[in-house]
Amino acid sequence: MAPGVALSALLAFSVLLPYGCSKEKKDAAQEGQQAQPAADLGKEHFEKGVQASMKGQIDEAIKEYEAVLQFNPKSPETYNNLGFAYFDKGDMDKAVENQRKAIELNPNLANGYYGLALALEKKGDKAGSIENWKKFAELSQPHSKWWMKAQEHIQALEGKKAAPAQAKKK
């Protein structure tokens, strides 16, 4: 499994998704139809997205996360996972766009800053990356594995020591 795929799969499991109500559910309720609850449909697509990410099926993961957004377009966790999927695919512009949307919806979503920092670093935006690594570190558990990785990236970007192994890979 590629390092980026493993990272997105790990981060995908670290959040819970709040699910919303879709227009289809409302319409079905008005017509007296028995419809599967929108939350269940959103959760189903989210879980399929996580599973696809873990298997390295990035295009399938993207499709599933985009399906979740049809039920709840205000889910920061879905935008976050979608951002990681685009990162794994190598599309840094879409990775940045989705991570920014996740942070806009939830400014306290630490994983959003982590994903944004990774994508900006990959794009060569040193200042933006450092800023987001620091924000992630503020919101995460000090001295945890991911906090330590953020510190390594900050130090490397500030020129205080060698770049982390993941940042050196192309």
* Amino acid of residue 167: A
How high is the pLDDT of residue 40? 81
Q: What are the pLDDT digits (tens) for 68-88? A: 999 999 999 999 999 999 999
Neighbouring CB atoms inside 10 A of 93's CB total 10
CATH number of residue 22's parent domain: 1.25.40.10
Residue by residue, DSSP assigns the chain as --HHHHHHHHHHHT--PPP---HHHHHHHHTT-----HHHHHHHHHHHHHHHHHTT-HHHHHHHHHHHHHH-TT-HHHHHHHHHHHHHHT-HHHHHHHHHHHHHH-TT-HHHHHHHHHHHHHHT-HHHHHHHHHHHHHHSPTTSHHHHHHHHHHHHHTTSSPPPHHHH--
Distance CA 116, CA 59 (A): 20
| Residue 56: CB atoms within 10 Å | 16
- What average pLDDT score do residues 93-109 get? 98
Alpha-carbon torsion 67, 72, 77, 82, what sign?
Answer: positive
Distances (CA, A) of 50 to 18, 30, 59, 60, 77: 15, 32, 12, 10, 11
pLDDT recorded at residue 35: 57
How many independent structural domains does the chain possess? 1
Domain assignment of residue 76, given as a range:
3-168
How much is the pLDDT for 36?
65
Average per-residue pLDDT in the chain?
A: 82
Phi, psi of 26 (to 5 degrees): -60, -45
- Average confidence (pLDDT) over 31-38: 55
